[in-house]
């Protein structure tokens, strides 16, 4: 078992345990970590997680003395909603959780975010333990305390019937008490989801030079076959190394306040991605049956867009975009997409991003092979060049 410690400024330090059997190893320590005798535990479980894995995890906590209530959650961007949050809060109240009883989120980033938000708001905050079961949530979403749901708003300019889904627009910072990344859960993860998780790893490689791991991108390039073959040792190294980068960023700027970037740098590619990932017709390979894009696929396309935008501004040269495309292709990820709306619609959608301030775009852009900066009000021609680079 590998352990990475996250040290947020506002909350107790916590462990990310990485390895097969992470939940079994943690359950006997849970009461000590939370500082409260085992009582009730509410498990919010992604519908897509195989029952055998859920039984193992829940069994570990029951065996440690917890009375577990299980509640299945449908995990889609549309159901990552205030309605699902309300259902969860009702179920948590129905299970009789008290102030120091934990919520355990078992699943991908969507369940982790909604269950984390429910834990942040129920009785003004109960402990949450994240048990991520996708590569994407192991290396990114489960670590660092961001929780939330999407909001639906009516807009004049949107291509999907005038209704836009605004990603993670309501939420809270609520650090977990532990993250249990059991890589054996990846054995049954569909290939497409595993590849989508690699997009966040490529992203970390593009920023990690400023965060203590300049060799991450090169290491990842050699490790992709092992990750895709679900080799346990490679997966453990991949998750632990990516989490270590994220832990350094979170320690430096837990709530994304830094004027020089800080945690916002982790959003490399995401403002482009958020503008497209909720468009229901977009597909990673032109097959409509594969629409919509998964978050990681949209991030892959967004990384190319951000790189091309930065190249148009002279922040990097064109070889940065070529290298980014090569890294993403090696993971089997899309680097362009057909059927995009026009540039002005896309730019209007980018302005809905949480990082926009006073309607002014703020983009995280590459400034070197493994470094980035937060750029306010980038020239719109450069943003258009970013979109041009990803149109198929």
Q: Tell me the number of residues near ligand GLY by CB under 6 A.
A: 6
Q: For tokens 């970590």, what's the residue?
A: 33
Using CB under 6 A, which residues numbered 187 to 246 contact ligand GLY? none
Residue at shortest CB range from ligand GLY: 266
Number of other residues whose CB lies within 10 A of the CB of residue 357: 10
Does residue 140 interact with ligand GLY by CB under 6 A? yes
Query: What six digits make up the tokens of 175?
Result: 């650090």
Choose between 267 and 321: whose C-beta lies nearer to ligand GLY. 267
In the bound complex, what is the minimum distance in angstroms from residue 53's beta carbon to ligand GLY?
24
Between CA 255 and CA 1 the distance in angstroms is: 29
Q: Which of 146, 274, 320, 354 binds ligand GLY (CB under 6 A)?
A: 146
In the bound state with ligand GLY, the residue whose beta carbon lies nearer, of 101 and 256, is 256
Q: Which stretch binds ligand GLY (CB under 6 A): 8-16, 80-88, 140-148, 175-183?
A: 140-148
Residue 172, both tokens = 């809270």
CB of 267 to ligand GLY, least distance (A): 6
Tokens representing 133? 């079961």
| Window of 14-22, 78-86, 98-106, 261-269 that interacts with ligand GLY by CB under 6 A | 261-269
* Contact indicator for 361, 377 with CB cutoff of 8 Å: yes
Contact code string over 81-120 relative to ligand GLY, x by CB under 6 A: ----------------------------------------
Find the DSSP H helices in 288-378.
Answer: 295-312, 318-330, 343-350
Measured over the CA atoms of residue 199, residue 202, residue 207 and residue 211, the dihedral's sign is positive
- Segment lying near ligand GLY (by CB under 6 A), choices 147-155, 184-192, 263-271, 345-353: 263-271
What six digits make up the tokens of 23? 């939940």
What distance in Å separates the CA atoms of residue 281 and residue 279, rounded to the nearest whole number? 6
CA pair distance 303, 353, nearest whole angstrom:
16
144 in contact with ligand GLY (CB under 6 A) = yes
Which SS3 state, helix, strand or coil, does residue 388 take? helix
- Residues in touch with ligand GLY (CB under 6 A): 140, 144, 146, 263, 266-267
């Amino acid at each position: 078992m590998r352990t990475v410690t996250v040290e947020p400024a506002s909350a107790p330090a916590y462990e990310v345990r990485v390895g097969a059997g992470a939940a079994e190893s943690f359950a006997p320590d849970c009461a000590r970590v939370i500082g409260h005798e085992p009582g009730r535990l509410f498990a919010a479980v992604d519908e897509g997680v195989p029952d055998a894995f859920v039984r193992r995890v829940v069994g570990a906590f029951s065996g440690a003395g917890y009375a577990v209530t299980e509640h299945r959650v449908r995990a889609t961007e549309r159901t990552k909603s205030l309605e699902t949050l309300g259902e969860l809060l009702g179920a948590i109240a129905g299970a009789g959780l008290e102030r120091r009883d934990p919520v355990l989120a078992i699943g991908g980033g969507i369940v982790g975010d909604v269950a984390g938000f429910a834990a942040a708001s129920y009785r003004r905050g109960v402990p949450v333990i994240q048990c991520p079961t996708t590569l994407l949530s192991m290396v990114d979403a489960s670590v660092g305390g961001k929780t939330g749901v999407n909001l639906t708003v009516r807009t004049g300019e949107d291509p999907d019937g005038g209704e836009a889904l605004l990603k993670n627009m309501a939420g809270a910072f609520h650090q977990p008490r532990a993250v249990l990344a059991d890589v054996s859960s990846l054995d049954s993860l569909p290939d497409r989801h595993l590849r989508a998780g690699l997009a966040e790893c490529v992203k970390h490689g593009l920023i990690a030079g400023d965060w203590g791991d300049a060799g991450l991108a090169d290491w990842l390039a050699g490790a992709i076959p092992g990750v895709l073959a679900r080799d346990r040792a490679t997966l453990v190294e991949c998750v632990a190394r990516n989490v270590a980068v994220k832990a350094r960023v979170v320690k430096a700027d837990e709530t994304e306040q830094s004027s020089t970037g800080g945690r916002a740098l982790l959003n490399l590619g995401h403002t482009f991605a958020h503008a497209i990932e909720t468009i229901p017709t977009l597909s990673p390979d032109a097959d409509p049956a594969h629409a919509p894009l998964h978050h990681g696929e949209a991030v892959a396309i967004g990384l190319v867009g951000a790189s091309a935008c930065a190249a148009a501004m002279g922040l990097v040269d064109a070889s940065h975009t070529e290298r980014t495309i090569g890294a993403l292709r090696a993971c089997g990820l899309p680097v362009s997409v057909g059927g995009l709306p026009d540039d002005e619609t896309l730019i209007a959608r980018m302005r809905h991003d949480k990082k926009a301030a006073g309607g002014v775009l703020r983009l995280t852009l590459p400034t070197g092979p493994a470094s980035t900066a937060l750029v306010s009000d980038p020239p719109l021609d450069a943003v258009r060049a970013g979109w041009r680079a990803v149109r198929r």
